[in-house]
Amino acid sequence: MAASARADVLVDAPGADLVRGHCSACHSLAVVTAQRGDQEFWRETIVWMQKTQNLWAIPQSHEQAILDYLATHYGASQFSRRPNLAAELMP
Amino acid sequence: MPTSRRDFLAKVSAGAGGAITWPATPRASASDDSTPNLVLDEVGKAGLRLLNDRPLNAETPAHLLDDPVTPTANLFVRNNGHPPIDTNANTWRLQIAGESCVQPASFTIAELKRQFATYSYCLQLECGGNGRAEFRPRARGNQWTTGAVGCPRWTGVRVKDVLEHCGIRDDAQYVAFAGADRHLSGDPDKAVISRGVPMFKALEAESLIAFELNGEPIPLLHGAPLRLVCGGWPGSVSGKWLTHLLVRDREHDGAKMGGASYRVPCEAVAPGTPVADDRMCIIQSMPVKSIITHPTSGAHVSAGTKQALRGHAWAGDLRVAAVHVSIDFGSTWQRAELSEPANRLAWQRWQAGLNLTAPGYHELWARATDELGRSQPMLVPGWNPRGYLNNATHRVAVQVS
């Protein structure tokens, strides 16, 4: 993921304009760029905001482009103070 | 279906009197080309690390928490919405109401000061999500590292005294707050946050309706002109811009009380496991934790001289019993000197002298143990969907030469 000097500036890639348009009316983009997650994480976040924080309905084509963008450029990361146990060691 | 803020307050405030005026439109945000430093300079928080300017959230670098009592300029900033526009201390009113309030009443700040004794306590506030940044998978929310904590001095009247004056029914369960902060969406009917605590916590001697921070009227960002302070619990129970205290006959159900807000799985789950809302349990007393405030991480120190290591430790409603420090990644531990808290629910200062004889890169670790024998984990503790309660040990790096 390309580094960005400021937390409120999105990675410059297709889909960034849609994120800017739908996602900065109430809060700054720094809220967005601080998070990391897969498509499901970002979709759930959109649904939560629609249900509880007055976010409007997003046209389906926009929403898919937004999810693709965010999962690509702000996708889930694993590096940590110490990684979780390997999958085969989990219950 | 959530009730609108107006309807909810009207229902539980019946008879309290006094109209509530909500500001109509949010004020314009900081201009888009402000740098983070300018934003923090404007609000007197120059040394903090900005997480977000809208809403405004900023945490304190560890070395700026070195004072026994956190100066206002160094106290972290947490906003769920926007502060109110009108915070005039002369006209502000606090309504006491709720199903289990015998005689609802309304007070100005001057009336509170006249009718009730004033107390000052050093009370430690920590955001429930302090440390969230370390969880994997990542949790949604402010990615605090170690700086959403502070212990300033608060002055106010006791919640207990005001509520007992109004009369508390036998069926009282919870004390909840409502505040005048404004929702990010601009909807005047939407509460930003309205949380509460069980009766036992509200009625503690240290639970305050505060009007001063470090001897001065509370500034805008910290809840001017009146706020609730309940030390040792997640900061979100200490409601700012306080307009209502409601004595409820049930667990409070206001904004950011339910769902997964300030809750962790009742039964521990593996990292990344989805958890249904009805399997989430509310956070109360915060777990044992500590911070190293000196030296600043990244410092270069000389071999052979005794190196001072110090900071603070806390354990929610409990006392810290011991702090141990390590310079060899936890292989060996040395007990630090631990001070008494200024009062119950204040953090405790600790210090140690280290012999850093070997040159090179060192990590200095600190681990606190509470009065029930529970210590901080070395790793990130139990994962939870919203990334609360990371009380893993703090560490700073120094280069010895």
Q: List residues bridging with B311 in a β-sheet.
A: B292, B350
Structure ipTM = 0.73
- Kindly state whether residue B266 falls inside one of the protein's structural domains: no
pLDDT band at A76 (very low <50, low <70, confident <90, very high): confident
Q: Please indicate, yes or no, whether residues B241 and B355 belong to a single structural domain of this protein.
A: no
Asked if B140's CB is within 8 angstroms of A37's CB, the reply is yes
B337-338 and B320-326 strand pairing: unpaired
User: A16-89: which CATH topology?
Assistant: Cytochrome Bc1 Complex; Chain D, domain 2 (1.10.760)
In this predicted model, what pLDDT tens digit does every residue of B314-333 receive, in sequence order? 999 999 999 999 999 999 99
Q: Please indicate, yes or no, whether residues B101 and B170 belong to a single structural domain of this protein.
A: yes
B210-234 mean pLDDT: 98
Q: Please indicate, yes or no, whether residues B68 and B172 belong to a single structural domain of this protein.
A: yes
Instruction: Give the one of A28, A45, A78 whose C-beta lies nearest to B53's C-beta.
Output: A28
- Asked if pLDDT for residue B17 goes beyond 80, the answer is no
* CATH code, domain with B396: 2.60.40.650
In this predicted model, what pLDDT tens digit does every residue of B273-314 receive, in sequence order? 999 999 999 999 999 999 999 999 989 999 988 999 999 999
Cis amide bond preceding A14, omega within 30: no
pLDDT band at A5 (very low <50, low <70, confident <90, very high): low
- Kindly state whether residue B74 falls inside one of the protein's structural domains: yes
- Kindly state whether residue B279 falls inside one of the protein's structural domains: no
What residues in chain B have their Cβ under 8 A from chain A's Cβ atoms?
A: 2, 29, 32, 35-36, 50-55, 134, 136-138, 140, 142-143, 183-187, 190, 259, 270-271, 379-380, 392
pLDDT band at A6 (very low <50, low <70, confident <90, very high): confident
Measured distance CA(B328)–CA(B361) in Å, rounded = 10
Measured distance CA(B184)–CA(A51) in Å, rounded = 15
- Kindly state whether residue B310 falls inside one of the protein's structural domains: yes
Asked if B138's CB is within 8 angstroms of A36's CB, the reply is yes
Instruction: Give the one of B138, B190, B271 whose C-beta lies nearest to A35's C-beta.
Output: B138
- Asked if pLDDT for residue B92 goes beyond 70, the answer is yes
How far from each other are the two terminal CA atoms of chain B, in whole angstroms?
Answer: 63
> Which pLDDT belongs to residue B13?
52
Asked if B270's CB is within 8 angstroms of A91's CB, the reply is yes
B66-76 mean pLDDT: 98
Q: Please indicate, yes or no, whether residues B217 and B304 belong to a single structural domain of this protein.
A: no
**What are the residue ranges spanned by the domains of chain A?**
16-89
* CATH code, domain with B252: 3.90.420.10
Asked if B185's CB is within 8 angstroms of A6's CB, the reply is no
- SS3 category, B398: strand
Q: Which two tokens stand for residue B354?
A: 């280290």
Q: Please indicate, yes or no, whether residues B78 and B200 belong to a single structural domain of this protein.
A: yes
Are the CB atoms for B220 and B35 separated by under 8 Å?
Answer: no
- Kindly state whether residue B263 falls inside one of the protein's structural domains: no
What is the domain count for chain B?
Answer: 2
Asked if B2's CB is within 8 angstroms of A52's CB, the reply is yes
B149-167 mean pLDDT: 98
Q: Does A54 touch chain B (CB under 8 A)?
A: yes
CA B342 to chain A, closest CA, distance in angstroms equals 33
Predicted TM-score (pTM) of the model is 0.88
Structural domain span for residue B322: 289-400
Mean pLDDT of chain B: 91
Q: Which two tokens stand for residue B297?
A: 């991480």
Q: Which two tokens stand for residue B128?
A: 């429930």
